[in-house]
Structure 1
Amino acid sequence: MTAIDRGSLSDWRRIGAAVDVEPYGELAEQLTTALDLAEDAGVVAALRRRLAASQDRVARSLVAHRLNENTARFGGTAAAFARALGTSPSRMSTYLRGTVTPSAAVLVKAELIAESAARRREAVRPSSAPAAGPD
């Protein structure tokens, strides 16, 4: 509380840097509680923006990671996966880089398509069972 209300720019930068490291951790929870009680509206607003930006960065990164995993599970090119998903290759590229975050519905659809493609590949994969010998 003291660092928020009576601190300096260097104090606020340290708080922001700590939140960047773990924006959903215990420190972030403590900061949220402290910001609810703090008096300096300007500092409160700035730190809330910093926390939100850090949380958004982590969420975007996780969504992009999941989409990249699903693209690999799909077994084709990113362009082919985009077509199966019903989007353009250029839009898919923005999803995979994390510059655009798709809706939850698109993410779920991507996971279902990738799972279905993986199951189809498993179904057609030749069995590794030994061949039967002559009778």
Structure 2
Amino acid sequence: MLQFRNLNISPDAPVAQWPTEAVQTALERGDLDDWRRIGAELRRDPWGPIARRLEEVLSHSRPYGVAEIMEGLLERARAGAEAAERRHVAAEIRRAVSESGLTSTEFASSIGTSASRLSTYLNGKVVPSATLMLRIRQVAERSRAVA
């Protein structure tokens, strides 16, 4: 059973509340259940405080076998989050094009890009820059106001 020494937090507390020393203790002296809890927190927030604490711990402590597993968990959690974000952006762009009442070619032209480039945004292969995303929203809003 995991125990934290010299910490004012219990191992039963939510992982999101664990300080860096608790994460290190869990990696070095914890078991599969403790590591699963850390993994669940990484999936919930792959760039959050626990992910940052894990990176800090792994930069100077390499618990045998656990370090590689945790790095893989973090990498997969971030890749999954990025894929979800790409899908979300693509859906927002599809909605903007649809609500604008313009054809894809007309919409692409009005945001200053080609129809083929817009297609890569619509299917999530490419994520537009923040400024282009603003332009997409502005064109959709203007088109709705005219309609």
Same topology, TM > 0.5: yes
Show structure 1 runs of 4+ deviating over 3 A.
1-8, 22-25, 28-41
Spell out the pairing of 1:71-82 with structure 2 (5 A cutoff): 71-82=97-108
**How many residues matched?**
114
**Following TM superposition, by how much is the alpha carbon of 1:83 offset from its aligned partner in structure 2, in angstroms?**
1.0
Q: Which runs of 5+ in 1 are unaligned?
A: 122-135
With a CA cutoff of 8 Å and minimum separation of 6, indicate the structure with the bigger relative contact order: 1
In 1, Cα distance between the equivalents of 2:72 and 2:46?
17
Q: How high is the TM-score relative to the length of structure 2?
A: 0.61
DSSP 3-state at the match of 1:43: helix
Structure showing the higher helix proportion among its residues: 1
1:37 to 57, 60, 64: 57
- The alpha-carbon distance between structure 1 residues 117 and 60, as it changes in their structure 2 partners (threshold 3 A), is same
**Following TM superposition, by how much is the alpha carbon of 1:55 offset from its aligned partner in structure 2, in angstroms?**
1.7
Q: How high is the TM-score relative to the length of structure 1?
A: 0.65
Give 1 or 2 for the bigger CA radius of gyration.
1
**Following TM superposition, by how much is the alpha carbon of 1:32 offset from its aligned partner in structure 2, in angstroms?**
4.9
Equivalent AA in structure 2 for residue 94 of structure 1: T
The answer for the alignment partner of 2:95 in structure 1 is 69
DSSP 3-state at the match of 2:113: coil
Equivalent AA in structure 2 for residue 66 of structure 1: E
Q: What percentage of aligned pairs have identical amino acids?
A: 26
**Following TM superposition, by how much is the alpha carbon of 1:45 offset from its aligned partner in structure 2, in angstroms?**
2.7
